[in-house]
Structure 1
Amino acid sequence: MEVALLLGLTGDGSPEPLGRRLPALDPDAIVLLGQRDDGFRAAIGAPSIAGRVSLHPAESMHAHPHEIALRATEQLSRHSPAWWLHIDLDVLRGDQFPACASANDPAMPGGLSWAELAVIVKMALQAPRCRGMSFGVYNTDLDPDGDAARSIVGFLAEIGPSSAAAATRRADGRAAAAGGRPAGRVTPVSARSSSG
């Protein structure tokens, strides 16, 4: 829904200065992988952005995640001088990642496995124009024993410092060439979750 706003498809009554800055994104410079929210969007009456941006639902990712991720990075590289990878962890199946509201939402069935997500992320972080990665949609209240937090840390270890470091080195080199400061360094990550 936020992407629709940034594409200028929604937000007719947006306050200024936001309204005059829309659309803020080029639809060809956006690729969405692993969506599974058709039922949710139908329930709340939110239109789809399918057909406006490159969108690959979760079901389409299972057979060929590597090939689809490669095509996605190639598209982004054709349409953007630099891009950022953002991961909403609710793209994962509920049995793989229960620490988000969609894990048990019947309107959002299916999803990716950690292994499928790792293939996609490794491919993206190796792309020359990828500048880094962020992720979100983790609810500590739904992770009282910390298992999901440990899965996130394990995932970050699996994608490896080499993938993340490659994106950081590219960003550092471009910043230095432009006379700017280097990007932040990749450091070891640990996570702890507590209930309460």
Structure 2
Amino acid sequence: MITTDWFLLGAPWDCSGSGRGEQAAPAVLRAAGLSAMVSRDRGDAACTIDSVERDERTGVLALPETVRAAHALAEYLERALEDLPGLRPLVIGGDCSILLGIVTALRRSVGPVGLWFLDGHPDYSDGPASDTGETADMELAVLTGIGADSLVALAGRAPMVPASAVVMLGHRTSGLDAGSARELARVPAELRRIDAATIAVDPAAAGRRAAAWPAGPDRKMWLHLDLDVLDGDVFPAVTYPQPGGLHWDQLAAVMEPLARSPRLLGVSVADFRPDLDPTGVYAARVLVLLERVLP
């Protein structure tokens, strides 16, 4: 059991519209025992996406459906926060663009928030530059005010999260292809970063350092985990695995100071592909991580 301080909310969201696997993650993790680890299970938001049409003007895949899904997830999370005061949300995706709905809800329910963003990629592309147009390539850019107008404005006034209120952790900075290098170069200088190689040297110290950012003790923070922050050999059940990532103990050590911060609002977990986990071994390992890390 994690603690009774959490409620579970599923976000079966696959921004590719292809049903390739991420959208099954909430159900599979429940079947593996996740519901029993929290106080309440609020079920799934109606945020599935099945369009594979790419918007001609913005280059974003499934743009109208993504806007709809973001609002649906935001409204579902807002109701849960209102109904369950004192409990913190554990939102299980789906892919990383569930953050578009999560942060919209937080802005309306809480006010200004910051983001601890654990991900193997910067997710700072845009529609025209992305090979796929998937919002999981670009959600951090959108959250910080760069992207299609209908996405940037989801919570009203942009940016949803100032770049100075984001800490990006676990991204790769060596051996990048040209497209990945260009994406990393787009990240604003004021957005704080601790890359995978730095974390690997002393994960606990990296976590404590990130927990002290952004400045301002009153800014509440959301912790987001994309499981591709793990090395592809350690956790291959993701859409875009990479080498040079973290191992399980390193990931736990960097997360623990963040998960125990008094500023923590909640946690989201994304990019688990049950279709790439036929024996269930990786689903079980995700639950072990959450049980270890979440207070």
Q: Same fold (TM over 0.5)?
A: yes
Measured at CA, do residues 67 and 150 of structure 1 come closer, stay the same or move farther in structure 2, by a change above 3 Å?
same
Partners of 1:79 and 1:133 in 2: CA distance = 19
Residue of structure 1 in register with 2:140 after alignment: 3
TM-score (norm 2): 0.47
Alignment of 1:16-35 (within 5 A): 18=153, 21-35=157-171
Which residue in 2 is equivalent to 1:118?
252
RMSD: 2.5
**1:36: how far off?**
2.0
Contact kept in structure 1, 2:237 and 2:282, CA below 8 Å: yes
Which residue number corresponds to residue 42 of structure 1? 179
Query: Where does structure 1 differ by over 4 angstroms across 4 or more consecutive aligned residues?
Result: none
Distance 1:79 1:66, change over 3 A: same
Matched, 1:65 2:194: no
Q: Specify the alignment match of 1:168 in structure 2.
A: none
> Percent identity, aligned pairs only?
31
SS at match of 2:197: helix
Q: Unaligned 5+ residue runs, structure 2?
A: 1-137
Aligned partner of residue 224 in structure 2, secondary structure: strand
CA distance in 2, matches of 1:43, 1:75: 26
Structure 1 residue runs of 5 or longer lacking an equivalent are 165-196
The offset of 1:110, in angstroms, is 1.0
- Greater relative contact order (Cα < 8 A, sep 6+): 2
Maintained 8 Å contact 2:152/2:159: no
In the alignment, residue 253 of structure 2 is paired with which amino acid? V
Residue aligned with 2:216, SS? helix
Contact kept in structure 1, 2:211 and 2:258, CA below 8 Å: yes
Query: What CA distance in whole angstroms lies between the structure 2 residues aligned with 1:50 and 1:109?
Result: 25
Letter in 2 for 1:93: D
Structure 2 residue 286 is the aligned partner of structure 1 residue 148: no
Kept in 1, the 8 Å contact 2:166–2:214? The answer is yes
Deviation at 1:124, TM superposition (A): 0.7
Distance change in 2, residues 1:5/1:90 (3 Å):
same
Distance 1:137 1:16 in 2: 20
One-letter code of the match for 1:26?
A: P
For normalisation by structure 1, the TM-score amounts to 0.69
Q: 1:146 to 1:45 in 2, by over 3 A?
A: same
